Chains A and B, each alone.
Chain A
Amino acid sequence: MDGGGGKLRRAAVLIAVAVLPTTLAPPARAQNPPAVAPKILLAFDASESMEADDGAGTPKIRAAQDAAVSLLGQLPSSTQVGLRVFGGTRPSRPIGPACRDSSLVLPLGALDRAQAEDRIRSFRAKGRTPIAYALERAAEDLGTEGSRTIILVSDGKATCPPPTPCQVAERIARGGVEMRIQAIGFNVDDEAERELRCIARAGGGVYRDADDADSLRQELRLLSTRALRRYVAKGKRIRCGPNARRATPITPGRYVDAMLPDSECWYAVDLRRGETLKASASFIPPTREVADRGRFANSSFDIVTPTFAILGRRNSSASGRPFERRGFIDGLGVVSRPIGVGQQAAATAPFSRPGRYRLRLKLQDTGAKDLYDVTGGQPYEVELAVEVLGRRGGDPAPSNDPRPPTPAAIAPNEPPATLLLVVIAGGLAALGFVGGAALLGRWRR
């Protein structure tokens, strides 16, 4: 008899194991990394003069190294950063080799902060200031794709024969609007400032002045942040569900997701009586060309009620063309009404029921599949912002909620997990089996 109970229990465990992967595994979906990460190449002066004091007791070269290290600590890890120096290894004469003295101290790549710091601190100050040569090499380092920025830091003007750095900058800028040269003058005189301003202007960037280590650090951060503001989405990275049943549950916050054209993204938010759901979504175009060809692509964002109704009105649905202009990002916003109170208290009102509301985001490609084609099948980054109005510290006052309190292990308004049900039912069935058998056995005897 006991053996029978054991078998049943084993069966229950078996069922539970079979159910487990389907309930716990995240929805499988093709996920490529987002398109071309922005690239920043720092081009630092390592000529003899950088040994001099910055006016506050630190050699300028140390100040520059400190600023670069501190910058690395602040950049998002998706950035690609490199460091090239000009001067640093050869004496000022003979002039030929000294004017081709530039080394890539830190090659462009994903951020490895510990390794990068060692490399940044490794270079010394020596020789001439071959800015033009360094710019040419820096442009080669950055390649021809995506958002690229050279940030030039120098404490003096170029000390090499033509071409002038300004001419070189002008030539590099012909690589398109995504290639920019920024210049920072570190403790410079008027003549050097004029040259650096000319480089920045020709290179489509701006010139900034730095007097000491602190201002250098600040300017470097300012210019880098500006270089990165395109194409860097911010928020907690999540992965949406492909349909209503597998909607990814989320709490209020800011998120970043990625989706392919002609797909749907589903999220779920649990709402209690008196709360209001407010959500926005926007697409970040991976390349500038998206707006040229994908102008007629469509997008929509809807609130789906617990009864799976999509109202398409009362601001709970939004739609629009996501890529109307180059570089412009528009948002889709939806809002529910306060759930189950006031006008929505009537059972027939659209937002009468507390429970699981879902958000459906759609990105519809053009007839010719331009969105897909222009990025070579790369996903589009999505920014999401979700807010629940009228929620107090995540735990609303239960006064308006007529339902009895539920155990903490189970989220309110949600059917209990299958696993939990199987375990409880299995245990009770086994107990019943043993109990029933024992009772009947005793009675028959």
Chain B
Amino acid sequence: MAPVIARRATIGAALAAALALPAVSVAQSPSPVVGGGSFNTAPLLAPGAYADTVAAGETVYWKVRIAKGQGLEATATIDTSQIESDPLKADYQRGLARLDYRLDLFTPLREQLSSEGGASYDSATARLEGDPDAGAVSGTAKGPRALGFEQILATDYTKAKFPAPGEWYVSLSAADTSFDPAELPAELPVALELRVDGAPQPSSADFARSLPGPEKRRSPAVTNAPALAAADEPADPALTIGLVGAIALVAGAALGALAVVVLGRRTSSRG
């Protein structure tokens, strides 16, 4: 069994290298990196080649900063040589042999882009494929070019999902299912390559500051009178305090005056 595994490993490694090589422009060894288990824990990576692992049943997340005008493309190659693909072999495990490998791109809003539909969005999810005997699977996911905030926020952009500038997430999952559960653990080496194409163009949400605001308001007293209602235009706190204070002052004075009148009457009636 051991030599078989060793041979598979060699084939797998060679294949992984062959798949990864043409895309890497500068010959460099991939830097080891540890992806996160979810969005908040995803490490920020620059475009380049990385080495990580993904375990059976796990999804790993990384992120990349994308500017307006740029598009993200990610290629993942998983070395699956340690998984026995021959059902006749003793160490064959169906759950591992049938793992569903997928590479997904998410927008800065953390939405899976491909679920929106549309040709340029569909390619944001890729299934990693390879011959079972090849000992490796690979796939490339490509996102659309990021639009500027001024293009998607100032107008009625019709798509429900935004290719906005910001931190894009890349996830790689090796999911098993309840029908074919992975019953043995397996941690598989991953070669990840991140490419960003297009020249960055400036886009900032600050564009909104230059947009025209509302016309001059009418008398503030009219709009703000039901100050405590709070449901409509938010109240000006100073005005609320002033109003309540004035009412309290007048009520107090009236009470005081009343007290004097009542006390005065009692005194005079006793006297």
Interface residues of A (CB under 8 A from B): 1, 4, 8, 173-174, 176-182, 198, 201, 203-206, 222, 225-226, 228-235, 254, 256, 273-276, 278, 280, 282, 284, 288, 291-292, 306-308, 314-315, 318, 320, 325-335, 337-338, 340-343, 345-347, 352-356, 383, 385, 389-390, 392, 397, 400, 402-404, 406-407, 410, 412-416, 420-421, 424-426, 428-441, 444
B250 touches A329 (CB 8 A): no
B184 touches A440 (CB 8 A): no
Quick one: which of A8, A176, A410 contacts B183, CB cutoff 8 A?
A: A176
Given A331-B39, A383-B39, A282-B238 contact (CB < 8 Å): no
Residues of A within 8 A of B19 (CB): none
Residues of A within 8 A of B55 (CB): 177, 180, 204, 226
Docked complex Cα distance between A335 and B32 (Å): 35
Residues of B within 8 A of A340 (CB): 213-214
B202 CB within 8 Å of chain A: no
Docked complex Cα distance between A436 and B228 (Å): 27
B82 touches A229 (CB 8 A): no
A205 touches B34 (CB 8 A): no
Shortest CB–CB separation between residue A157 and chain B, in angstroms? 15
B24 CB within 8 Å of chain A: no
A356 touches B248 (CB 8 A): no
In the complex formed, the residue of B with least CB distance to A313 is B160
Chain B residues 61-83 with CB under 8 Å of chain A are 61, 82
B241 touches A230 (CB 8 A): no
Residues of A within 8 A of B100 (CB): 325
Shortest CB–CB separation between residue B36 and chain A, in angstroms? 6
What are 8 A-to-B residue pairs whose CB atoms are below 8 Å?
A180-B55, A204-B56, A291-B178, A327-B57, A338-B211, A342-B212, A352-B214, A436-B260
Quick one: which of A177, A307, A406, A424 contacts B232, CB cutoff 8 A?
A: A307
Docked complex Cα distance between A331 and B106 (Å): 8
Given A204-B187, A390-B205, A432-B173 contact (CB < 8 Å): no
Given A254-B40, A354-B234, A434-B256 contact (CB < 8 Å): yes
Quick one: which of A176, A347, A430 contacts B214, CB cutoff 8 A?
A: A347
Docked complex Cα distance between A314 and B240 (Å): 34
B156 CB within 8 Å of chain A: yes
A318 touches B231 (CB 8 A): no
| Binary flags per residue of B239-267, CB closer than 8 Å to A gives 1, else 0 | 01100110111111111110111001000
Q: Interface size on B (CB < 8 Å)?
A: 94
Shortest CB–CB separation between residue A173 and chain B, in angstroms? 5
Residues of A within 8 A of B186 (CB): 177, 204
| Binary flags per residue of B205-240, CB closer than 8 Å to A gives 1, else 0 | 111110111111100000000011011111111101
Quick one: which of B153, B217, B230, B232 contacts A338, CB cutoff 8 A?
A: B153
Given A233-B40, A430-B252, A173-B234 contact (CB < 8 Å): no
Docked complex Cα distance between A431 and B189 (Å): 77
- Stretch in contact with the other chain, from B108-116, B126-134, B137-145: B108-116
17 other A-B residue contacts (CB within 8 Å) besides A174-B183, A439-B253: A4-B256, A8-B252, A174-B184, A226-B34, A229-B36, A234-B36, A235-B40, A325-B175, A327-B173, A329-B38, A330-B111, A331-B106, A335-B162, A337-B154, A338-B153, A353-B233, A412-B237
Residues of B within 8 A of A403 (CB): 236
Quick one: which of B82, B110, B215, B245 contacts A282, CB cutoff 8 A?
A: B110
Shortest CB–CB separation between residue A194 and chain B, in angstroms? 9
Given A1-B259, A226-B34, A433-B255, A415-B228 contact (CB < 8 Å): yes
Quick one: which of B53, B149, B155, B248 contacts A424, CB cutoff 8 A?
A: B248
A342 touches B211 (CB 8 A): yes
B208 touches A341 (CB 8 A): yes
A-B interface, 6 closest residue pairs, ranked by CB to CB distance from nearest: A204-B185, A432-B252, A333-B109, A331-B110, A436-B256, A389-B205
Shortest CB–CB separation between residue B140 and chain A, in angstroms? 19
A280 touches B110 (CB 8 A): yes
Docked complex Cα distance between A254 and B111 (Å): 16
Shortest CB–CB separation between residue A395 and chain B, in angstroms? 14
Docked complex Cα distance between A329 and B259 (Å): 70
B214 touches A420 (CB 8 A): no
Chain B residues 23-49 with CB under 8 Å of chain A are 32, 34-41
Chain B residues 120-178 with CB under 8 Å of chain A are 149, 153-156, 160-162, 171, 173-178
B237 touches A415 (CB 8 A): yes
Quick one: which of A173, A389, A436, A444 contacts B185, CB cutoff 8 A?
A: A173
Docked complex Cα distance between A201 and B230 (Å): 63
B82 touches A201 (CB 8 A): yes
A343 touches B156 (CB 8 A): yes
Quick one: which of B175, B249, B250 contacts A327, CB cutoff 8 A?
A: B175
Residues of A within 8 A of B85 (CB): none
Residues of B within 8 A of A329 (CB): 37-39, 59, 61, 171
Residues of A within 8 A of B59 (CB): 327-329
